Chains A and B, each alone.
Chain A
Amino acid sequence: MAQQDVKPTRSELINLKKKIKLSESGHKLLKMKRDGLILEFFKILNEARNVRTELDAAFAKSTEKINLASAVNGMVAVRSTAFTAKESPEIQLSGHNIMGVVVPKISSTGVRKSLYERGYGIIGTNSYIDETADAYEDLVEKIITAAELETTMKRLLDEIEKTKRRVNALEFKVIPELIATMKFIRFALEEMERENTFRLKRVKARMRD
């Protein structure tokens, strides 16, 4: 708020005092929110780190299994068997609230399938195909968990960043400016009071003359 735009009046001073009080309580709340979000973030970070490690391991395992299945049965057989994957897993997205931040909750159905539900005949296939399907089902599950956690982390990070900017803006810009303006108005009012007193003294002196 530029000082020259402010009318140095008492009502403006009262308004400014209210604004400063509000900003200070806002600043305090935002700081608490930021700290809370950081705590939540670190809690999820550990979980996400574990899930990411598990995801990497599941990816390595499923890659090895499909390579093994392709080597033993031939790529042709694996591709042909893969045609039978008739039902894609379904993903349901909902949201939940962490300190005002809406983060996704991802649930899935139809990822894990029994030997019967996979769609290929049991007699004409072998354990290499089963183990590849198992490994990929595990991988899809891990991807879903990792997607939920990593999106949550991203949203939390965005919110922390936003909150931090607000806290800083209040702390280093808004509140100091309001205080400066308040000082300016207070000074201007005092100045006006002194001028009035001086003016009254002059009027009184003239009347005496």
Chain B
Amino acid sequence: MPLLENLWGKKPSRKSDKKKKGSSNYAYAVTRVRAMKSKLLPKESYPRLLNMGIDEITRFIQESEYKNDVDELAMKYSGGDLAEHALNRNLALTYDKLVRITTGELNYLVVAYLKRYDIWNIKTLLRGKLYNASVEDILESLIAAGEFTYTSMSELAAKATYQEVIEGLKYTEYYPLLQKFDGTNLAYIENELDKMYYAGLFEAIGKPRSKDRKLFTKVVKLEVDVKNLINLFRLKKAGVVQLDEIMPLMIEGGLELKTEKLASLQYDEFVNELQRTQYWDAISGVTGSDMASLNTLESRLTRYYLESSTILSHVSPITVVPILDYIIHKNNEATNLRIIFRGKETGLSDELIKDQLVII
């Protein structure tokens, strides 16, 4: 039996699958996660970091939760690469810890949510193999925070062609879709993988009957809405107007947005329609048809999503939502630190760096 079949079995196998119907340790896991969340950088740290030079920021990161990761990778990387890989490693280890400390259906939901990193890794493997990137480059681009282990991904990265990579994923749920990849339709496959991820996540949540599931669904649906909204703005800005071109790029299952209606509208009508949604307060003032960049709009929507997930996590404290909230905030912390470090390193102005930060 091939090694990957051993590793993954018929479906990606973790204790989540086996214990889907087992007892969940909500109280224990949420308490651990609350403790972990208290170690996230407080928002007061960011203005201080913005005033520091690169050496000071490096020292700051070395003395924080990222110490072990920096020490581990310091031999291999330096400067911005070291910081970025340390942040990615820390993220992967933190998420792995979440998977380890949760059991039963809680674990099942966490694993289902973290599968986004598997999607990311599959995309990177396909991109790398299709365009003959070196194994080293591909390995550096992988983030082992999902269900696939780093060893199995390294094995896939060492394959000679993308066909072999796809064959290596034969025993995963992604195989039927990946079989449609013919070397020319990467964008289609990437979009379908992303949609498959959300479809799989909604399937994992099931029909939300309990308050717990309803909240979890709401956070995911909110994320879908935010993603769809950003993509609608991107497509409208790029001049894509055909409904049959836009709709395949929309993720199904959003909270409030009627994507089909929004997609069919001209830009001004589209913006008017958004005024009736909960997202308007977050984006009003940055939706002019002459705006040069969507960056501000995107960071405002991300901030709105983070704030909403935090509020929802307080609504029901002993549910999966605080764990999801922690995952999102941990990711945001890594993103913020990377923005500051890379921004400083590449000489971006403090004002520009500050605009990109999502500080909650």
A, B in one complex: yes
B 86-101 binary contact with A (CB < 8 Å = 1; else 0): 0110000000000000
Q: A76-B143, A86-B186 are in contact. Are A124 and B346 (CB under 8 A)?
A: no
B231 at the interface (CB under 8 A from A): yes
Taking CB atoms and an 8 Å cut-off, the chain A residues in 80-138 that contact chain B are 80-81, 83-86, 114-116, 118-124, 126-128, 130-131
Q: Is A74 an interface residue (CB 8 A)?
A: yes
A71-B348 contact in complex given A76-B143, A83-B130, C-beta closer than 8 Å: yes
Partner of B141, one of A80, A86, A114: A80
One of B133, B137, B249 near A123 (C-beta < 8 A): B249
The answer to whether A124 and B191 touch across the interface, beta carbons within 8 angstroms, is yes
A45 at interface by CB-CB < 8 Å: no
A72 to B299, CA, bound (A): 10
Question: How far is B251's CA from A127's CA once the two chains are assembled, in angstroms?
Answer: 17
Q: A115-B240, A120-B187, A122-B191 are in contact. Are A74 and B88 (CB under 8 A)?
A: yes
Query: Residues of A contacting B353 with CB < 8 Å?
Result: 71
Residues of B within 8 A of A121 (CB): 123, 186-191, 193-194
B293 in the interface, Cβ–Cβ < 8 Å? Answer: yes
Whether the Cβ atoms of B238 and A68 lie closer than 8 Å is no
B187 contact from A77, A83, A119, Cβ within 8 A: A119
Interface residues of A in 24-76 (CB under 8 A from B): 63-64, 67-68, 70-72, 74-76
B187 contacts A80, CB within 8 Å? no
A116 neighbours in B (Cβ, 8 Å): 187, 240, 245
User: Within the complex, what minimum Cβ distance (angstroms) separates A119 from chain B?
Assistant: 6
Residues on B with beta carbons closer than 8 Å to the beta carbon of A72? 295, 335, 338-339, 356
CA distance in complex: A120, B119 (Å)? 14
The answer on a CB contact under 8 Å between B190 and A128 is no
List A contacts of B87 (CB < 8 A).
74
Residues of B with C-beta under 8 A to A120: 127, 186-187, 190
Residues of A within 8 A of B141 (CB): 76-77, 79-80
A67 is contacted by which of B297, B298, B346 (Cβ under 8 Å)?
B346
Q: Which of A63, A123, A126 contacts B195 (CB 8 A)?
A: A123
Q: Please indicate which of the listed interface residues A68, A85, A130 has the most CB atoms of chain B within 10 Å of its own CB.
A: A68
Pick the contact of A75 from B80, B124, B297 — CB < 8 Å? B80
A67 & B342 in contact (Cβ 8 Å cutoff): yes
Query: In the complex, what residues of B have CB within 8 A of residue A127's CB?
Result: 230, 233-234, 293-295, 297-298
- Is B118's beta carbon under 8 Å from chain A? no
Is the CB of B307 closer than 8 A to any CB of chain A? no
> Interface digits, B130-142 against A, CB 8 Å rule (1 contact, 0 not)?
1101000100110
Best-buried of A64, A118, A122, A126 by chain B (most CB within 10 Å): A122
Instruction: Determine the main DSSP class of B at the interface with A.
Output: helix
Could you tell me which residues of chain A, from 118 to 170, have a CB within 8 Å of some CB in chain B? Answer: 118-124, 126-128, 130-131
Name the CB-closest residue of A to B240.
A115
Identify the closest chain A residue to B133 (Cβ).
A83
A126 and B298 contact, CB distance less than 8 A:
yes
Decide if A79 touches B295 in the complex (CB within 8 Å). no
| Complex CA–CA separation, A116 to B190 (angstroms) | 12
**Number of interface residues, chain B, beta carbon within 8 A:** 56
Cβ-defined contact, B343 with A67, below 8 A: yes
Asked whether, in the complex, the Cβ of A71 is within 8 Å of the Cβ of B298, the reply is: no
B339 to chain A, nearest CB (A): 4
Identify which of B187, B235, B353, B356 gathers the most chain A CB atoms within 10 Å of its CB: B187
A128 and B235 form a contact (CB under 8 A) = no
Residue of A nearest to B356 (CB): A72
Contact A68-B80, Cβ < 8 Å, known A116-B187, A130-B238: no
Q: Which residue of A lies closest to B87 (CB)?
A: A74
| B251 touching A123, Cβ below 8 Å | yes
How far, in angstroms, from A115 to B188 measured CA to CA in the complex? 12
Task: Point out the residues of chain A lying under 8 angstroms from B233, CB to CB.
Answer: 127
What A residues does B338 contact at CB under 8 A?
71-72, 74
Binding site for A on B (CB under 8 A): 80-81, 84, 87-88, 119-120, 123-124, 127-128, 130-131, 133, 137, 140-141, 143, 186-191, 193-195, 227, 230-231, 233-235, 238, 240, 245, 249, 251, 293-295, 297-298, 335, 338-343, 346-348, 352-353, 356
List 10 extra interface pairs beyond A74-B88, A80-B128, A123-B190, CB under 8 A.
Answer: A70-B342, A71-B342, A71-B343, A71-B353, A75-B80, A75-B342, A121-B186, A122-B234, A123-B227, A126-B234
Q: Return the 7 tightest CB-CB contacts between A and B, nearest first.
A: A121-B190, A127-B294, A83-B127, A71-B342, A67-B346, A123-B194, A115-B238
